[in-house]
Amino acid sequence: MKNARQEKIVELITKYEIETQEELASYLEKEGCRVTQATISRDIRELKLTKLTTENGKQKYTLMQDYTPGISDKYLRVLKEGFVSMDMAQNILVVKTVSGMAMAVAAAIDAMHWNEVAGCIAGDDTIMCAVRSTEETLQVMEKIRKIVGGETGQTYVN
């Protein structure tokens, strides 16, 4: 729900010139999302929104950086640094990590809030991710490849 709400906030501030938290709450309510001022304030902080002065002298919310729903820099770094390889057994994704990093990498995967992943169990250097289907396991593997790929020089097992 949080990710969907934050995605909707990004969509709304891109589409409209929203100047205040109250105005943002009103737009969200029109979209069927009831929120408190505290929730909007927290979302603004988490999304790293800032205000920009428009040509007509008003201010509007805008993204300070590229936004990727559900992924913070901390979790990306943990996943990149801890990942060694991955393999699948139907709908179970087995991720190998640097020794001692499995719990942190599993927490990072859980924090991504990917709908495909039901949950993770971690040991010392191995994670078992329960994925909803074989097809979705392949999708999760591709997401992980995009995060850790290229620049890490890590190997992948398929």
Cβ distance 154 to 105 under 8 Å? no
Q: Which residue has the tokens 């949950």?
A: 119
Cβ distance 104 to 127 under 8 Å? no
Topology annotation, domain 73-148: Gyrase A; domain 2 (3.30.1360)
Domain ranges in the chain are 2-63, 73-148
Determine if the pTM surpasses 0.75: no
Distance in angstroms (rounded) separating the CA atoms of residues 34 and 100? 41
Angle at 121 between CA 153 and CA 143, to 5 degrees: 40
- pLDDT, one tens digit per residue, over 39-89 is 999 999 888 888 888 778 888 898 765 445 556 677 888 999 999 999 999
Q: What is the per-residue DSSP string for 86-148?
A: EEEETTEEEEEESTT-HHHHHHHHHHTT-TTEEEEEE-SSEEEEEES-HHHHHHHHHHHHHHH
Report the chain's mean pLDDT, rounded to a whole number.
86
- Architecture in CATH of 2-63: Orthogonal Bundle (1.10)
pLDDT at 146 over 60: yes
Residue 110 exposure: Cα atoms within 13 Å on the Cβ side: 12
pLDDT at 119 over 90: yes
